[in-house]
Amino acid sequence: MKNYQAPANLLQDRVILVTGAGDGLGRAAALSFAAHGATVILHGRHTARLETVYDEIEQAGYPQAAIIPLDLEKADDKAFEGLAGSIGLQLKRLDGILHNATAGHTPMPLELHTVDQWMTMMRVNVAAPVAINRACMPLLKQAPSASIIMTGESHGHVPAAFWGAYAVSKAAIETTVKIWSQELENLHPNLRINTLIPGPVNTRLRRKTHPGEAHENLPQPDDLMPAYLWLMGDDSRDIKGQSIVL
């Protein structure tokens, strides 16, 4: 998968939503999807970061992107319905979602977690992507072949001390994916959902949680893009409900 060679037109004419597209893996994925023909919808909290990625896509001559800023911690059902409505109104279709937006915390013992920290992790990392999927489901069901990628995390896949609410929220993603995949399997075979666990990558979040690490020795976001392209494109059409660890 890491050595996958995506054809240049892999995502031609498709519309793909990328959450957390302002930097790190989200930015790299947005640029990579656009480079392979997709119209990318850039989501994030910080409009300035999204505008920078938008400009990069435009300057490269890729299909014109769109920007939808939204704070997942504060958004309610109406906001998520509005996001889906904007996509339907402006772009008429949706062929894939990469859920990359993540709330993290500094590693600490479970006994030190506050209720607010728990609620932030669960709201941003679990409830928000589920709500986005639900709101966008009518568009995704109409797509000839649609892929939803939920971003997991290695400490959620294999629980480890001090990762607390963050690990629990990411473990919940894997369970959600398995349930949703079973529900879609027979009724909507054109739509698939999987968990992608990138592992250690040199991103802003990684530098925050591992300040003493030699980050320059880690894989860069661009190094992982073959896997993201494979899972978003039709060469992985038979992969459903899986947790894929890079």
Q: Which residues are designated catalytic?
A: 166
Alpha-carbon torsion angle 74, 40, 36, 129, nearest 10? 30
Q: Which residues contact 102 (CB under 8 A, 6 or more apart)?
A: 20, 124, 125, 151, 153, 205
Kindly report the backbone phi and psi dihedral angles of residue 42, in degrees, each rounded to the nearest multiple of 5, phi listed first: -95, 120
Whether 43 and 136 have beta carbons less than 8 Å apart is answered as: no
Strand segments (E) across 2-108: 15-19, 39-44, 66-69, 96-99
Strand ranges across the sheet with 243-245: 66-69, 39-44, 15-19, 96-99, 146-151, 191-197, 243-245
∠ Cα 225 12 57 (to 5°): 60
Whether 39 and 17 have beta carbons less than 8 Å apart is answered as: no
